Structure 1
Amino acid sequence: MAHRSVEEHVAHIRSLVVPAIPTGSETVQLGAALGRVTAAAILSPVDLPLFRNSQMDGFAVVAAELHSLPVTLPVVGEIPARRGTPPTLAAGTAVRIMTGAVVPEGADAVVPVEDTTATADSVTIARARVAGEFVRDRGSDLRAGDPLLPAGLRLASRHLAALAAAGIDKVEVRRRARVVVISTGAELTETGKRAGPGEIYDSNGTALTAAVTACGAEVTFAIVSSNDELSQLRGAMLMGVANADIILTSGGISMGEHEVVRDFLSTIGGEVGHIAMQPGGPQATGVFSGVPVISFPGNPVSTQISFEVFVAPILREAAGLPAAHRQRRTLSADVRSAPGKRQFLRGRALPDGRVEVVGGPSSHLVAGLAASDLLIDIPEDTIELKEGDPVETIDL
């Protein structure tokens, strides 16, 4: 791999990953549709509401009969919200009705209980009502055949509620990329355990798994390769190609000894080199049994920023999700940048529209990244910026 620019490496990764991501749609159960993206517009198969029902707890009446006020009507029954069709309301009577219950034939208005004086068998109404008052007509929300949800919509709980209300139990959604995440490093140990001498917790597996999911793709499984044996990594890769469209790895691609991912990629004709970028200079790619392998450096900030720059835009685009929001902001303080490298500083948006740098540029400062809500994109030919200078930011 030659010493590429960020733009050149973005193009290279797109050439590997985009053809590997499945297209088309699949049908999933409603309970599995949260976060998926609709493949086509969904029309309501039914009227909503399904039937004429009461908006209030009260009394169903005929509005035209409420003359010579106050008027007292006999109460001839009660209609709770339950299955079935109530009897037709007889002229000159009222019936108790609960919110959501079927309004009986013959009635055209509901008088809220708080606007009445009632006994066990009668109700007195002192104010005139109009036909349709506190009655939800069938189809007043949506008619059968009307659009319920558009294509390209990422389904949230409110959308699932609308689908369920229309009796829809399956949804056609866009297919999503299947991704395997592999963290490498003999120094890694699991979170929740006590770290021994020289051990660190595997944060990259957690971060990449979450980031992939947030981009609308599916992590089929994540593996921690807890030693630097080439045979173990090859076994993990073999499991990966059987279950993934894309494999993401972290660690093991530097120029020193015991760089297991670099050694593996050399056996399959992969590329290992440096990008004019900080953090995230070391980068590597390859194709194993037809599956692209995208390899990030092991320092946790480098891993996460590499994913955001090189892979997240592709996954979001494939899933039908909007790209990360970019915005021009002004700096709250002077900034220096490494010459010849495109720098992605961690930053935080201030209430006045400016942006401040959070923490330093080093690739191990996870607390600074956690405290950030955006990246500050500094061009590689820029060495120094002053307070008030404009910069491009990328929301995290």
Structure 2
Amino acid sequence: MAQLSDDCFAFGGKLLAVEQAAALIAERVPVLEGTERVTLRAALGRVLAEDLCAPLPLPPFFNAAVDGYAFRHVDLAPEGETRLPIAGRLQAGAQPEAVAPGTAMRIFTGAAMPAGADTVMMQEDTREEAGAVILPPGLKHGANCRPAGEDLAEHAVALASGRRLMPPDIGLAAALGITELPVRRLVRVGVFSTGDELAEPGTALGPAQTYDSNRFTLMALLAGLPAEAVDLGILPDDREATAQALREAAGAHDLLLTSGGVSTGEADHVKAAIEEGGRLVFWRLAIKPGRPAAMGVIRAKADAVGGGTPAVGLPGNPVAAVVTFLHLARPLVLRLAGADAETLPRFAATADFAYRKKAGRREYVRVSLTFRGDLPLARKYPREGAGLLTSLTRSDAFAELGEEITQVAPGDRVPVLPFRAVF
């Protein structure tokens, strides 16, 4: 399990900027130990543990890039058409034969070039007459051919350690004949919700209860990361029980994630429970929604000293929980997993709304996107409450308004974080 020093998240300021949070995580959180080998089918989204070097060149042999005719470039007349007898036919996968001087070979895309041939004329640019091919002048030497190693040289680094594997990476490994890849182990994340007002979906609701949604949202967000999400249920509004549950979970997980109970209310016990079980640095992020967020290290035993398991207490409002997850939990999981740092994907949009905000904090406004013209049009969701779960299901992105911005006018350019890319 993860063992972080008690003071690894120490921060002396009142409000922590998003970039400062990312820097602290990158600088002070160690990568988890442990690797395993997995098949290509199981490697998607995992973090590569070692550089993958090409055991062979790619492509492995000189081949035709198009359907056409292979020949020696010296046989091509400098002016006027060239007539070359067709000496044979080469399909992809066939053993090539040498092409005699003054002849051409019918060849298909991917077929190995016959010995002696160094150029291919596309079939659309030729015509056949009585067993010969007529070639127009002007083709450059080596045209329409792919030399061995054009894509990747033998022994070159094909994929670097720390890369979170994407579908093309899996294809590249397969093209190199690889069947298994060394990857870092998954980050084991224990996920709690907190609050007596929450009920488990599928059970009967009490008179003042709602069904828990945050825990399921967070586990779904973790499913897109190199993590194993473990459902640890709902914590009651009891400080002692919360502290005990966190201590017990710390010994079996690399990261603990909670939602709710991190504000300053009498029934908000997560902040105090983290402090009781280890060391707390109460991160008040300079963002909206989501400013209250507890970050700390929990020891598995109450009398233990030294390192422990990182814990992140996210706000209870659904939108705030998602925003803080993206800026705290997500980079922390990636760092523990040994993945290269990843910035959240953004693209520009044109604001179709007016908005005012305070300087000094970053705000995330839910918007729908209409794609037309050069830039998509971002239209603000009509209501702003951080507890509106449907504001996420009925929007397409967060408009990200930086710390220096105090107002937005229709027509202004704003960066947006598309949900389908960040979720």
Do they fold alike, i.e. is TM over 0.5?
yes
Contact 1:359 1:365 survives alignment (8 Å) = no
Match of 1:244 in 2: 253
Q: CA deviation at 1:218?
A: 1.0
Distance in 2, Cα, partners of 1:38 & 1:327: 28
Match of 1:53 in 2: 63
Distance in 1, Cα, partners of 2:284 & 2:256: 20
Q: Which amino acid aligns with 1:155?
A: L
Match of 1:71 in 2: 83
Deviations 1:223-268 (A, max 9, x none): 4338779999789757744542110011345677876757865874
Q: Please say if 1:346 is aligned against 2:355.
A: no
Match of 1:374 in 2: 399
Distance in 2, Cα, partners of 1:113 & 1:274: 66
Contact 1:20 1:245 survives alignment (8 Å) = no
Match of 2:230 in 1: 221
Q: Which amino acid aligns with 1:297?
A: P
Partner SS state of residue 183, structure 1: strand
Distance in 1, Cα, partners of 2:248 & 2:128: 73
Match of 1:295 in 2: 313
Q: Summarize the Cα distance change of 1:367–1:113 in structure 2 as closer, same or farther, 3 Å threshold.
A: same
Deviations 1:346-391 (A, max 9, x none): 2559989999865555331234455342344569xx9xx4567x99
Q: Summarize the Cα distance change of 1:90–1:368 in structure 2 as closer, same or farther, 3 Å threshold.
A: same
Match of 1:188 in 2: 199
Distance in 2, Cα, partners of 1:227 & 1:51: 65
Deviations 1:8-31 (A, max 9, x none): 999899989986653467454444
Match of 1:362 in 2: 385
Aligned-residue RMSD, C-alpha: 5.1
Q: CA deviation at 1:303?
A: 1.8
Q: Which amino acid aligns with 2:215?
A: G
Contact 1:228 1:258 survives alignment (8 Å) = yes
Q: Summarize the Cα distance change of 1:96–1:199 in structure 2 as closer, same or farther, 3 Å threshold.
A: farther
How many residue pairs match? The answer is 382
Q: Summarize the Cα distance change of 1:90–1:17 in structure 2 as closer, same or farther, 3 Å threshold.
A: closer
Q: CA deviation at 1:162?
A: 2.9
What is the identity percentage for the equivalent residue pairs of Structure 1 and Structure 2? 26
TM-score for both structures, normalised by structure 2: 0.66
Aligned match for 1:85, one of 91, 95, 120: 95
Distance in 1, Cα, partners of 2:61 & 2:348: 52
Q: CA deviation at 1:100?
A: 0.6
Q: Summarize the Cα distance change of 1:218–1:301 in structure 2 as closer, same or farther, 3 Å threshold.
A: same
Contact 2:278 2:299 survives alignment (8 Å) = no
Contact 2:29 2:335 survives alignment (8 Å) = no
Partner SS state of residue 319, structure 2: helix
Q: Which amino acid aligns with 1:321?
A: A
Contact 1:262 1:272 survives alignment (8 Å) = no
Match of 1:335 in 2: 356
Q: Please say if 1:322 is aligned against 2:338.
A: no
Q: Please say if 1:209 is aligned against 2:219.
A: yes
Match of 2:132 in 1: 123
Consecutive unaligned residues in structure 2, runs of 5 or more: 1-12, 301-307
Contact 1:225 1:232 survives alignment (8 Å) = no
Report the more deviating stretch, 20-29 or 134-143: 20-29
Distance in 1, Cα, partners of 2:99 & 2:18: 74
Contact 1:301 1:369 survives alignment (8 Å) = yes
Aligned match for 2:189, one of 176, 179, 198: 179
